[in-house]
Each structure stands twice: as C-alpha cells, then as structure tokens.
C-alpha cells in the first residue's frame, strides 16, 4: 500500500441478497445476486483475514438479510478472533431466542435493527411480510436483555414521516441507545419508487422539528442520527466519506465496491475477491481509483473550497440524475445539472403513487 492510500476503516460484508422482506426503497441492485453465486464460508473467512491484515477496524454483516446465512455465527466468531468490531445489520425477523444466543456466544458486538414504520399495519404492508413487526419487537427485546448495544433504524418516507415522534418514543421504550431517523435514499429500488417515497418540503420540516425536540427531551438517554433526503439540501453529502477512502463493500458473489450502488457505473471492471487480493484491489484497481481524491473532479468542484469536505457528493447519484458519474452531484446548487433535482421535487404528485415491489418469491422461499 502506498503512503497516499490509507486503508479502509470499515468493511460492509453483504453476505446474501436473500431477504424475507421486500421493501420498496431497497438500495440493493435491481438485479439481485442468486444464492448459487454467493461466496462460501471459507471465502468469507479469507476476506475477513485480508481485511484485518489491511487494517480494517469494523465489519458490518449485512444483506439482504445476513441471518439467512447459517454460517453467520462462524463468520462473527472469526472476525472477533481477528480483533474486528462486529455489527449485525438486520431486519430482525430471523433473530429469535434460538438464533440470537449463538451470535452472542460468537462474540457479536452490536446489532442494528431496521423498522419500516412504528405503525404495524403500514410496516407490514411496506415490508411485505405479515407478522414481521412482532418479530422485530421481540428481536429488540432479546438484544437489550443481553446488554448488547442496539441501534434502531427507522426508515422515513412520505407515508410515515408524520410518525417520527412515536418512533422516537418507541426507541426509548425499547431501550435502544441510538436511533437513526433516516429518510430513504434514491438508489436501486428506491429510485424506482422515488415519487412515492420522497417527502414534501413541509413533511421534511416537520420531521426535522420532531428530531430537534426529541434530542432535547432525550438528551443523555438516546443518541439520534438524522439523515435527510439531500434533494432538499443545497450541498451534497460526502457519500461514503469519499470514494475509496474509508469503506469497502463486498457483494454476495465477492465483487469489491467502493459503495453499495457502484455496480450501476458503466464501462468499468468490477474486481472480485475470487480473482485478487483485497489490498491490491483497494489500492490499485481502476474502479477504486476512478473517483478517489480530487484529481478526477470537473468544475465547479475542482476549484471549490468544499472539495475535500464533500468529495463532490455521490457518484452514483450523479449517474442516476445526470447520466454521468463523473460530474458534480446534481444535489449541489452549484452543479450544472442542479435543475434535475429541482424538477424531481417540483414534479412530486399531490398523492403518492402506489409502491412498485420487486417480487422475488424464490428468494423468500430460500430464507425459511
Ligand atoms: Fe461540493 Fe463540488 Fe458543490 Fe463544491 S461544487 S460544494 S465540491 S459538490
Ligand atoms: Fe455510490 Fe454514493 S452511493 S458514491
């Protein structure tokens, strides 16, 4: 590794795309990777070894639903043995009194549990799974009873934005130490459903006020992370903390990516852990060097004082909105393509259209 390329801090291990839920804002790719192509246990073990060797500090086991993989406890145990901090990002529907103690015994450090809503009927309508909410509440109870730190993730969209105060109350009642109130982002299936998901400006103001009030009310009890839809901002987020700077993402079949949506970028080879070493891919691959640092930047980023703060925003959003991943994120008010964002907001229908679901019955059969 050269002096100029520091190692990543976190590894996102997407163990599988299989999932019992089918959220219409899913940021996984439109074409999911089938079970037959998933990395085997020994291949994930090798990935973890290489990550620790590179200096990675944290591993986030994610999906799809990572608890669909029977080898999850073995992978957690191995990561813990390497000194990695382990986080499980789960829907919670497979976390129960049988499956959770095995993960505790393996040394899991943290659970991040997602909710589609605090209203049961809507949550189960959105996730497409009857009985899911009760399973999630039980999962939260088990994690807190174990004394393991729990972060809740409430996904916010047009239909549930008004219920943010109840979500925050529920987070306190569940004993979570941290909660994310996270508006959906518009990648993958989330982009397909953008008109149904995106809140109005009034709703955004309302959720911001609710978060501000709760921060005051629950100070010292609950930490609240608030993620807004950056379409309403005039500067973009520093997506992934900058391309190829802090995060490394591995898909179920072993593709190594700088972010979860990078596979949308055309005309570039996606490196795979089956064909190369992680450290070499991180440092040398054309994909990771494509937008690393500031040399790739066009104007207005190139001469902007913000360029090492937001790193020009999100490459995948630039591609989705402007058709070119190498331009300034259109969310930025200085971007030549900013009108695309203005138009997306101004063309929001008065009534949100019905969600479009991805239907993957076979994948659901497989998760059991
Ligand atoms: Fe960020 Fe580029 Fe906008 Fe400057 S011009 S604020 S670097 S996106
Ligand atoms: Fe790919 Fe932002 S999601 S750079």
Residue 214 belongs to domain with CATH number: 3.20.20.70
Residue 355 contacts by C-beta under 8 Å, 6 or more apart in sequence?
24, 126, 193, 196
The verdict on ipTM greater than 0.90 is yes
CA distance 32 to 74: 24
CA distance 368 to 15: 16
Which residue do the tokens 């994310």 mark?
Answer: 180
Say which ligand is closest to the CA of 242.
2
127-155 pLDDT per residue, tens: 888 999 999 999 999 999 999 999 999 99
CA distance 302 to 326: 12
Domain for residue 289, yes or no?
no
| Beta bridge partner(s), residue 249 | 12, 257
CA of 300 to the centre of ligand 2 (A): 19
CA of 340 to the centre of ligand 1 (A): 16
How high is the pLDDT of residue 235? 94
Torsion over CA of 102, 106, 110 and 114, rounded to 10 degrees?
-40
How many distinct structural domains can be found in the chain?
Answer: 1
Q: Which domain holds residue 185?
A: 10-232
CA distance 344 to 196: 12
Domain for residue 105, yes or no?
yes
Say which ligand is closest to the CA of 329.
1
CA of 74 to the centre of ligand 2 (A): 30
26 is in an annotated binding site: yes
Question: Ligand 1: which of 303, 304, 321, 329 to mutate, most ligand atoms within 8 Å of CB?
Answer: 304
Whether 334 is in the pocket of ligand 1, judged by its Cβ within 6 Å, is yes
Whether 287 is in the pocket of ligand 2, judged by its Cβ within 6 Å, is no
Give the position, in ligand 2's atom list, of the atom nearest the Cα of 259: 1
Mean pLDDT for the stretch of residues 294-313? 97
CB atoms within 10 A of CB 294: 14
Domain for residue 21, yes or no?
yes
pLDDT of 30 above 80 = no
Domain for residue 348, yes or no?
no
Task: Record the pTM.
Answer: 0.92
Domain for residue 339, yes or no?
no
19 is in an annotated binding site: yes
Mean pLDDT of the chain: 92
């Amino acid at each position: 590794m050269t002096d100029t390329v520091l190692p990543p801090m976190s590894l996102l291990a997407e163990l599988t795309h299989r999932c019992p839920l089918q959220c219409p804002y899913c940021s996984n790719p439109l074409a999911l990777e089938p079970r037959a192509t998933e990395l085997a246990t020994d291949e994930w073990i090798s990935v973890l070894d290489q990550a620790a060797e590179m200096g990675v500090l944290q591993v986030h086991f994610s999906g799809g639903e990572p608890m669909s993989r029977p080898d999850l406890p073995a992978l957690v145990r191995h990561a813990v043995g390497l000194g990695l901090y382990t986080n499980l990002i789960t829907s919670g529907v497979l976390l129960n009194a049988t499956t959770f103690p095995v993960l505790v015994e393996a040394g899991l450090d943290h659970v991040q549990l997602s909710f589609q809503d605090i209203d049961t009927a809507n949550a189960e309508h959105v996730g497409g799974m009857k009985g899911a909410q009760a399973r999630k509440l039980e999962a939260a109870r088990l994690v807190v009873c174990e004394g393991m730190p729990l972060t809740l993730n409430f996904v916010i969209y047009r239909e549930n934005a008004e219920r943010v105060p109840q979500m925050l109350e529920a987070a306190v009642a569940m004993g979570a130490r941290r909660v994310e109130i996270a508006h959906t982002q518009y990648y993958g299936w989330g982009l397909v459903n953008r008109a149904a998901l995106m809140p109005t400006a009034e709703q955004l103001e309302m959720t911001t006020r609710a978060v501000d009030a709760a921060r005051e009310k629950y100070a010292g009890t609950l930490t609240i992370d608030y993620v807004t839809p950056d379409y309403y901002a005039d500067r973009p987020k520093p997506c992934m903390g900058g391309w190829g700077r802090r995060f490394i993402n591995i898909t179920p079949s072993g593709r190594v990516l700088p972010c979860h949506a990078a596979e949308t970028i055309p005309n570039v080879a996606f490196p795979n852990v089956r064909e190369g070493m992680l450290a070499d891919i991180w440092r040398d691959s054309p994909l990771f060097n494509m937008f690393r640092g500031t040399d790739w930047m066009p104007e207005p980023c190139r001469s902007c004082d913000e360029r090492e703060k937001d790193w020009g925003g999100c490459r995948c959003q630039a591609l989705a909105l402007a058709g070119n991943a190498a331009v300034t994120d259109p969310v930025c008010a200085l971007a030549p393509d900013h009108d695309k964002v203005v138009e997306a907001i101004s063309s929001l229908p008065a009534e949100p259209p019905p969600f479009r679901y991805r239907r993957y019955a076979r994948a659901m059969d497989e998760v059991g």
